[in-house]
Amino acid sequence: MSTDPRGPNAWDRLWAPHRKEYLVDEAGKFDGATCPFCKAQKASDVDGLVVVRRSAAFVVMNKYPYNSGHLLVCTTRHVSMYDELSSEEQAQVSELTSQAMRTLRSVSNAAGFNIGINQGNVAGAGVPDHIHQHIVPRWAGDVNFMPIVGGTKVLPELIEQTRILLSESWSD
C-alpha cells in the first residue's frame, strides 16, 4: 500500500515527449552524431541553447532542469571521465563554473548552488560518454507545493529566455 498522499500512481501520468530524442538506446550510449552536447556545439547558440563557448569547454542550458537556470558545463571533446580531461579542459570547466555562479547570482539572485558531475551509467549520468558538470541555482524557499502535491516543477520562465538573459549578462 502506498503512503504517498497523492495515491499509488502519482508519477505515472507525467508525459514528456520532448525527452524522446535522448532515448537513443536503452544503455544511453551516444556517439559524436547522437550526443546532445556534440549536437549543441554544431548548432547555433540559440538552437543549441548554448550560453557561452570557449576553446575546450562551453556552457549550455539543461533541457530538463531541476531548477530555473540549471546549467551544464561541458567539454567540447566527447570524453567520459574527469581524469581523462586535459589540463586545459579542467581549467576551462573550473573557470566556466565560477563564471556561471557569478552570472546566476547577478541575474537571478541565486543564494546557493548544487554542483556535481555524474560519471558513468551507474552514477546516474544521463549522457555518460560526454562529461558535463551540473550547476543548479538554489534560493531560499525554492521548494513549493507543486513538487509535493503535483509531482512536478514549475519554472518561472522559458529555457530560451533564461539562455538569452544569462548569455547577455555573462562577463569574463
Is the Cβ–Cβ distance between 99 and 51 less than 8 Å?
A: no
Q: In this structure, what are the phi and psi dihedrals at residue 104, rounded to the nearest 5 degrees?
A: -65, -35
- N residues, the chain: 172
Q: Mind listing the domains of the chain with CATH numbers?
A: 18-169 (3.30.428.10)
pLDDT digits (tens, 9 = 90+) for 81-128: 999 999 999 999 999 999 999 999 999 999 999 999 999 888 888 888
Active site residue 70: no
Distance CA 134, CA 37 (A): 13
The candidate with the shortest Cα–Cα distance to 100, out of 152, 54, 63, is 54
pLDDT score at 47: 95
Q: 70, 130, 132, 134: which one is catalytic?
A: 132
pLDDT score at 152: 63
State the DSSP H helix or E strand holding residue 47, giving kind and residue range, or none if neither.
Answer: helix 45-48
**CB neighbours (10 Å) of residue 54?**
19
pLDDT digits (tens, 9 = 90+) for 7-60: 655 555 545 555 555 554 444 667 767 899 999 999 999 999 999 999 999 999
